[in-house]
Structure 1
Amino acid sequence: MQIEGAIALVTGANRGIGLALVQALAEGGARHIYGTARNPESFPPGELPPPAQFSALRLDLSDGESIEDVAALANDVTLLINNAGSLSGGALLAAPPEAIRGEMATNCFGLIEVTRLFAPVIARNGGGVILNMLSVSSLASAPDLGIYATSKAAAWAATQAMRTSLAADNIRVLSAFPGPVDTDMSSELEVRKASPGSVAEALIAGIEREDPEIFPDDMARQAEAVWRSDPAMLIRQFSVL
C-alpha cells in the first residue's frame, strides 16, 4: 500500500507511537490523517501536521457510541492503525478480575469493535490495510506482564481471524510486534527501549510492503528469530525476564 495519497486513521494518536505514526504518515504524503484520543485537546499542537492534513477526533474504546461516531465522520479511510492500548503490570492469576477485564476491553475487544465498524468503510473505498498494534508479549509472556500478554495474545488471535474474513473485501490485515518502546505507557519498565520515531518509521515501511507481521525494533527482531525457529524457546526466555 502506498502511504502517499492514503487516508489514515490512527487510534491512541496523542502521544508515543501513535503521535510518531501521525508524523510519519504526514511525512510520507498521506492525504489526510485522523488521529483519535479519549480527549482530543490532549494533542500537542506544535507536533501535529497542518489542519488541512490532520483531524483530531474523540474516541474511547470503552464507548461503543464514540466508535460509531468516528466511523461515520471518517468515512473515507483506506488505512486503519489500531494503536490505542493499555499496559497493566501483574501476574495473570494474582490479578483482580476487574483488572483483567479492563485490559481485555481495551487491547482486544476495543480493537475488534473499531475494526468491525471500519472494515465496511475501507471496503466501500476500494480496500486497503488494517494494522493491529500487538506486542512481542503476544507471543510469549514475562511473569509480571501476564495480564497484558493475555490481552495481546487474544488480539493476535483476533487479527488472524480478521485476515481470513476480510481478504475477500480487498483488505489486508497486518500485525505489529514491537518490543519495549520509550513511551509513557512503558515508563515503569526498566529495560532498553526503542524510540517511538524509529518504530513508526519501521511500521510505515512494513505497511508499504504489506508485511503480514512487522517486528519494528532490535529486541522485536531478536524475538522474531527465536519465535520462527523455536517458539517454545521464546516462551522459556521470556519466563525468566
Structure 2
Amino acid sequence: MPHVISVNLARPRPNPTGSGVETTGIDKRPVDHAVSVRPPGPGPGPGAEEPGSGLVGDRVFDRQHHGGHDQAVYAYGRENLDMWARELGRELGNGSFGENLTTSGLDLEAALIGERWRVGAAGPLLEVSAPRIPCATFALWLDERRWVRRFTERALPGTYLRVIEPGEIVAGDGITIVSRPAHDLTIGECFRALTTEADLLPRLLDVAELPEYAREVARKRTAPAPAPEPAPAPDRAG
C-alpha cells in the first residue's frame, strides 16, 4: 500500500546562494512523532503569511519563491531517491531532496494535477498541485555538477501538495487516492511543459487545479508574437 516512509522538518542553515535570503530550510530531517498539517496561508510572494510550510515545525525562508497554499507540502518518492543514490554513488537519506514527505508505492510523476490524497485513516486531505522546479539552492545543497540540468532531464520532480483539510501525519501512514479530476494532465507532463517540452504548454492553460503562476507561464509562452508595426509611408513632400 502507498504510504509515508518519513515526515521531514527543516533544520535552518545559512543559505549559500547569496540571493539576499540568509537562511534556507532545504535541510529536512525525519522526525519520530506526529506532525500537524494545516493550510499555511497565501503565497509565495511579498508579504505572504509566515511560516509558509503546511507542516507545523517546518519553515520556508524564501517566501518570494516557495511555500504558501500551492506549495504547502513537498513529497518525493523513496524509489526515485534510491535511483539517484545509485547514479550519484552516495547515500541519500529521507529528506535529502528537501521533501516534507518521503513516500513509497506511489508514482508521483503520474499523479494528476488536482487529485486528492487522504493520509492516514483520518489524517489530512492533500491535493496534488504542481511539480517542483529545481533552483540554485537545491543545486548547492546537493553539491553535484550540472545538478539543475540533470534533475530537469530526468524529469522526476516529485510533487507539491495543497492542504485541503488539516490533520496529523506520522511515518507509516497510508496514502489513499480518494478522487481524481476529469482531465489527464500529470505532474510529469506539467514539469516537462514548463522545462523542456514547450509543445505541451497548451495543455496547462485550462487546468483550473494548476497554480496561477504555472498557468501564467503557459499563457506568456504560448501567446502569439505581436504583429510588426507597418513601416511609415515615405515622405514625398517637397
Q: TM-score under structure 1 normalisation? A: 0.28
**Structure that is richer in helix per residue:** 1
Name the larger-Rg structure: 2
> Which has the bigger relative contact order, CA under 8 A and spacing at least 6?
2
